[in-house]
């Protein structure tokens, strides 16, 4: 990139304009449109997502498992989308700061060039002789001696001016290179978000299509099967004796986080949402802890990677329970073997058994000191 005034000023303006375009709502993604899967040409059972037909008996259990698989894939893609969104916001902020530095640096460079030009013009007006030569040719020795100090000062000032010019030009080159790199990263995250969005919508559309093919009675039985599967998992978890060790009280911030999360009960799940009217799973947990005064990572995967791990037996209200091997779901423990979470599309925020899904582990956002356990009576 050029280091001249026009080139760098144009670069800075380009940076700011590009930020405006990339950050504008709705500009990053085109509507992927309806699913490209062909509709069945006859009422014969068929599904582009590989789902079984909604038939009585054991096949309905297969439908439940397929729906669970589809929604889990959508949840995983949602966390990928959230991660790309979080990175894009950070990169946008970095580009804005770089743009400010470029503009400020260009202003400084313009001022330095003006000073250098003034010095050149002064030398021209005095016949082009350097200050040292004028002193040597002076008829007045006193003026010569007095002027020697001024010459040295002038030489130092000139050297400092040239040094400032060089450093400022180098800084501008660095800022421009950094801005270009951030733009490339931002574009990569834009594409990642678009890919994740298409995957989310494809999985949700397939699940909704499968559910829409069920009769009313089948939907009711499917809901019972879902509840039974969750209850079976929760019972097995409780039978392990886990509650006998869960006697740690919440901290003040933990209570605030739980208070926020439970206040959202009944609000709908919406992928990518962070409130206040809807949430996805990690949007709920991250915002609950922000409200409690603790900023935590946005996605369930990053919550799992970055927050302090604690044993399940040591968890306390406010801790986050991470589910599934890919850390694609998260809920907040609220005590008594229960957690609050935003389940999936088509469902609302609810309280469920903490062991109703496969637990990967537990993380603790709170950095407050441990409190004494309350003995069980």
Residue pair 28/22 in contact by the 8 Å Cβ criterion: yes
Helix (H) or strand (E) holding 338: strand 338-341
Q: For residues 19 and 177, is the Cβ–Cβ distance under 8 A?
A: no
The CATH code that applies to domain 5-33+50-212 is 1.10.287
Tell me the helix, strand and coil percentages in the chain, rounded to 5.
60, 10, 30
> What are the tens digits of pLDDT across the range 160-204?
666 777 777 777 777 778 778 877 877 887 788 788 888 888 888
The proportion of the chain whose per-residue pLDDT surpasses 90, expressed as a percent, equals 30
The better pLDDT of the pair 314, 211 is held by 314
Domain(s) of CATH 3.90.1720.10: residues in the chain: 247-364
Decide which of 52 and 295 is more confident: 295
Distance CA 51, CA 353 (A): 28
Return residue ranges of the chain for CATH 1.10.287.
5-33+50-212
Fold of the domain spanning 247-364: endopeptidase fold (from Nostoc punctiforme) (3.90.1720)
Average pLDDT score, the chain: 75
Catalytic center residues: 281, 329, 341
> Quick one: pLDDT band at residue 159, thresholds 50, 70, 90?
low
Q: Which residues of 330-361 are buried (b: 16+ CB within 10 A; e: fewer)?
A: bbbbbbebbbbbbbbbeeebbbbbbbbbebbe
Residues 256, 260, 261, 266, CA torsion sign: positive
Q: Are 282 and 85 in contact (CB under 8 A)?
A: no
Output the pLDDT for position 373: 43
**pLDDT of residue 253 exceeding 60:** yes
Which of 294, 357, 291, 348 lies closest to 330 in space, CA to CA? 357
């Amino acid at each position: 990139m050029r280091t001249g005034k026009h080139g760098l000023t144009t670069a800075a303006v380009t940076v700011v304009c590009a930020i405006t375009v990339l950050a504008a709502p709705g500009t990053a993604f085109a509507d992927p449109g309806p699913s490209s899967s062909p509709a069945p040409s006859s009422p014969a059972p068929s599904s582009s997502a590989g789902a079984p037909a909604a038939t009585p008996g054991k096949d309905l259990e297969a439908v439940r498992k397929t729906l669970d698989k589809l929604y889990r894939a959508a949840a995983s893609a949602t966390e990928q989308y959230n991660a790309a969104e979080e990175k894009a916001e950070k990169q946008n902020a970095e580009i804005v700061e770089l743009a400010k530095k470029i503009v400020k640096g260009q202003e400084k460079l313009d001022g330095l060039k003006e000073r250098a030009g003034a010095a050149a013009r002064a030398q021209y007006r005095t016949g082009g002789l350097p200050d040292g030569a004028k002193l040597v040719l002076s008829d007045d020795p006193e003026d010569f001696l007095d002027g020697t100090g001024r010459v040295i000062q002038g030489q130092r000032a000139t050297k400092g001016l040239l040094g400032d010019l060089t450093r400022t030009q180098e800084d501008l080159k660095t800022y421009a290179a950094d801005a270009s790199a951030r733009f490339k990263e931002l574009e990569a995250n834009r594409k990642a978000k678009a890919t994740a969005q298409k995957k989310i919508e494809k999985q949700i559309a397939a699940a909704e299509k499968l559910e829409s093919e069920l009769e009313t009675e089948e939907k009711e039985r499917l809901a019972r099967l879902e509840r039974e599967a969750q209850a079976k998992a929760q019972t097995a978890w409780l039978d392990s004796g886990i509650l006998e060790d869960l006697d740690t009280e919440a901290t003040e911030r933990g209570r605030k986080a739980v208070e926020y999360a439970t206040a959202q009960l009944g609000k709908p799940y919406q992928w990518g949402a962070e409130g206040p009217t809807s949430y996805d799973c990690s949007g709920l947990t991250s915002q609950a802890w922000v409200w409690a005064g603790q900023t935590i990572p946005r996605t369930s995967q990053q919550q799992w990677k970055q927050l302090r791990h604690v044993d399940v037996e040591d968890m306390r209200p406010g801790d986050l329970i991470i589910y599934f091997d890919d850390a694609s779901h998260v809920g907040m423990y609220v005590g008594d073997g229960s957690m609050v979470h935003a389940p999936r599309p088509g469902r609302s925020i609810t309280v469920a058994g903490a062991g109703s899904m496969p637990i990967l582990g537990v993380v603790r956002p709170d950095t407050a000191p441990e409190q004494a356990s309350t003995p069980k009576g």
